[in-house]
Amino acid sequence: MRGIVSLSTLGSALRGERQHAGLTQAELAARAGLSRATIIGLEAGGHFDGATLVAVVRALKLEISVEPARVVPNLLDETEEL
């Protein structure tokens, strides 16, 4: 997963990983020890706790990585200085 900046993009990324693994929402829920409703909510960008995220990531055989954000210069700021 890359460039996760919101719960919505996280949910979409996890849905894509689930589909890539050939799992239904019910199958992923069973592997993660969660309800299908929880998986549906997560994929829809709903709120969830850290334990839920870890359970889903493990069930999908993924890992979580935290990296510094890439800084993109704001061109507007630069033109204001001129």
Residue 65: band (very low, low, confident or very high) from pLDDT cuts 50, 70, 90: confident
Closest CA to 56 of 34, 26, 41: 34
Domain ranges of the chain: 1-82
Taking CA atoms, 55 is separated from 17, 31, 41, 42, 66, in Å, by 14, 9, 14, 12, 17
State pTM to two decimals: 0.77
Q: Which residue has the higher pLDDT, 50 or 68?
A: 50
Residue 77: band (very low, low, confident or very high) from pLDDT cuts 50, 70, 90: low
In angstroms, the first-to-last Cα distance of the chain is 39
Domain 1-82: which CATH class? mainly alpha
Would you tell me how many other CB atoms lie within 10 Å of the CB of residue 44? 12
Would you tell me how many other CB atoms lie within 10 Å of the CB of residue 61? 9
What is the per-residue pLDDT across 8-51, written as a single tens digit (0 to 9) for each? 899 999 999 999 999 999 999 999 999 999 999 999 999 999 99
Amino acid symbol at 46: G
